[in-house]
Structure 1
Amino acid sequence: MPDTDSGATTGLDSINQQLAEHYSALSPQLKRAASYVLEHPMEMAFQSIRKTAQAASVTPSTLVRLAKRLGFESYEPFREVFQSAVQSAPVELSGRASKLKHQHRNPEAALFVEVGDAAFDNIGKLFTADNQTRVKEAAERMLKARRIAVVGFRDTFACAYHFAYVGRIAMPEVTLIRGQEGGLLTELAPFNEQDVVVAFGFEPYCAETVKALEITRANGVQAIVITDTLRSPLVPGASVTFTVANATPHFFPSLLAAITLSEAILAECVAFGPDQLVENVASFESRMRQLGAYVEIV
């Protein structure tokens, strides 16, 4: 991450992207500081440099060095970026969610309630003003693309399948990449700079997903990445990056926020895309009914 002579980066998104892009090249101490910065924007905004350094297990001078690596003259203007970013309140589903969360709490059903609490929290963190802007940008890139590849393996295959199935109803150019029997390279070879790849991946990150992004990046394909942290190996080179919360008492990461985000992106595409997308949806439904794909309730 070279020093810059053109002045400090003023946007939090840009700071996060720089840190994510160059994370692997940082020294161990700067990595530790960068990890804290990426994952604790609220604390960065309001803690003193000494308290932040203590929480990140680094020295205050390490935080100053990190700020200067990003082009800031000192730590204070670096921290001000975080303060500005958190001043605008996020769009949260707090009202009804809070009411539902605290109804009928049964001590004997603690785990059930825990799962529910985690689900509400994950969704609440998704609906922020920043993510709303990213959803719009992702939709714009998809609408301009010639073709859209969707990638997700193992636990996130469910996300990729849902995105591709629903997306293809409105946009026939959406393709689910399966990578079966060593066919990953063959499936991705036709995609180039006119196209977009949507990739899902949470820790532990699948080698196939990382490989798919390497292949598409080499071909100039724009990447929309949905992952769990900006330190994810899926982030470098991405055009749009979403980090979604996936906490749960369950033994595997929750996919709820990723699925919800998928629906938000696809809804944005249909809402702001050409009328043909709506016609495609109507045509699909009509065709399915003619084929007897649905059971009618009488």
Structure 2
Amino acid sequence: MDPTLRIKIIAQLKDHMAELSPQMRTAAKYIVDHPSDFGLDPIRDTASKAKVSTYTLVNIAKKLDFSGFEDLRRPFRSALIEGASGAGNTDRFDQERQQGDLGKVFADSAENALSIVKRSLDRQQLSQLEAVVDMLIGARSVYLTAVRSSYAVAYYFHYVGRMALPSMQLIPRHMNSAIDDLNDAEPGDVLVAITVTPYSTETIKACEYAKKRGLKLLLISDSEIVSPHLQPEQMLVTSVLSTHHFGCFSGMMAVVEMLVAFLMHRGGQGARDRIASYETVRIENNAYWVAQKKH
């Protein structure tokens, strides 16, 4: 079997995403986003996870000139090198899992967090991360936007990242919209947008507006397919799979931490001096609590 067939199938799905029917688009997006699970699961499990019918999965296989679902799944199954559980102290987790309902929740959540951190980091390529950092450092202004749960990641990235990259601005500011704050942006500036399923209208509109104004776009998301018509210069994809209703951001935070490490390294002495100046300001203004001596 051609070892590159899985990659070719994913590329074909992405290229033709806009032409597919809504149900087939949903199925295609699932295959692109979860290639390992697709390679492991039988058709009914895949249909359940993707929230489509088994009929849709068969149809998408035939559209790609495969005889059926199993024929389409075979390259993904062959490409699997390791399971989805990730590294970790599985013996300890197995013990916890025997300690009742909360023990199972503990073990499942811990294994999931370790797994998505590993999956998210495995997806990153050094050459792309270098290109991302070059794009950020080379821009006059870097705008960073996210809303709702993704905002926590954006806030941390800005809070730490601005010490290495003073041009970084977190938007929207002062209850504005992100589009308002992009009004002064110039071609060549960069917008970093963070969004995960279900994608925020505000964030997608900000991305579209930024592209119209000539900004470069870095998208950090849980999928390579966010909007069929959105073409970012760079895209970092992470896993936010979770054992509960909301996404788990451990993997995305690990990738953001890596970006911060790159920026700090590339920032050199200037970054170190800015960190020291922030620390001095905090100390001078009693930002850190110190236990008072008893008299």
Same topology, TM > 0.5: yes
Unaligned runs of 5+ in 1: 1-9, 69-75
1:101 equivalent in alignment to 2:93 = yes
Map of 2:50 onto structure 1: none
1:230 is aligned to 224
Matched, 1:294 2:254: no
2:124 paired residue among 131, 137, 158: 131
Alignment CA distance shift 1:43-1:261 (3 Å): closer
* Alpha-carbon shift at residue 150 of structure 1 (Å): 0.8
Q: Whole-Å Cα distance in 2 between the matches of residues 122 and 114 of structure 1?
A: 12
Q: Which residue of 242, 247, 254 corresponds with 1:248?
A: 242
Deviation at 1:230, TM superposition (A): 2.4
Corresponding residue of 2:113: 119
What is the one-letter code of the residue matched to 1:232?
A: V
Is 1:280 aligned with 2:279?
Answer: no
Inter-CA distance 199–56: structure 2 relative to 1 (3 Å threshold) = farther
CA contact (8 A) 2:161 2:263 kept: no
Confirm or deny that 1:38 pairs with 2:32.
yes
Deviation at 1:212, TM superposition (A): 0.7
Alpha-carbon displacement from aligned partner over 1:36-75 (angstroms, at most 9, x marks no partner): 541343477799xxxx99x97458785475489xxxxxxx
C-alpha change, 1:86 and 1:115, in structure 2 (3 Å) is closer
Q: What is the deviation of 1:260?
A: 2.2
SS at match of 1:94: coil
Could you tell me which amino acid in structure 2 is paired with residue 113 of structure 1? A
Deviation at 1:154, TM superposition (A): 1.4
Deviates more, 1:162-171 or 1:173-182: 173-182
Residues 15 and 191 from structure 1, CA distance in 2 versus in 1: closer, same or farther, beyond 3 angstroms? farther
Counterpart CA distance in 2 for 1:103 and 1:281 is 43
CA distance in 1, matches of 2:10, 2:172: 31
How many angstroms apart in 1 are the aligned matches of 2:229 and 2:79? 21
Give the Å deviation of 1:194. 2.0
Over 3 Å counting, the alpha-carbon distance change for 1:183 and 1:14 in structure 2 is farther
Aligned to 1:5: none
Q: C-alpha distance in 2, partners of 1:222/1:11?
A: 31
- 1:1-298 maps to which residues of 2 (within 5 A)? 19-20=13-14, 23-27=17-21, 31=25, 34-42=28-36, 57=55, 63=61, 66=64, 94-95=87-88, 97-98=89-90, 101-102=93-94, 104-105=96-97, 106-110=99-103, 111-128=105-122, 130-133=123-126, 134-178=128-172, 181-233=175-227, 236-296=230-290
1:167/1:14 CA distance change after superposition, 3 Å = farther
Structure 1 residues 98 and 173, CA gap change in structure 2 (3 angstroms): farther
What is the TM-score when the length of structure 1 is the normalising length?
A: 0.73
Deviation of 1:34 (Å): 3.0
Counterpart-to-counterpart distance in 2, 1:44 and 1:247: 14
| Partner Cα separation in structure 1 for residue 163 and residue 171 of structure 2 | 16
Deviation at residue 249 of structure 1 after TM alignment = 3.0
| Cα displacement (A) at 1:176 | 0.4
Q: How many angstroms apart in 1 are the aligned matches of 2:16 and 2:215?
A: 20
Q: 1:44 to 1:252 in 2, by over 3 A?
A: closer
Contact 2:18 2:228 (8 Å CA) reproduced: no
Distance 2:8 2:188 in 1: 24
Q: Secondary structure at the match of 1:251?
A: coil
Q: Which secondary structure state, in structure 2, belongs to the residue aligned with residue 283 of structure 1?
A: helix
Shift of 1:137: 2.9
Q: Which amino acid aligns with 2:87?
A: S
In the alignment, the residues of structure 1 paired with residue 7 and residue 132 of structure 2 have an alpha-carbon distance, to the nearest angstrom, of: 15
What count of residue pairs does the alignment treat as equivalent?
A: 278
Please tell me the root mean square deviation across aligned C-alpha atoms, in Å: 4.1
Q: AA paired with 2:252?
A: A
Q: Is the 8 A contact 1:151 1:198 kept in 2?
A: yes
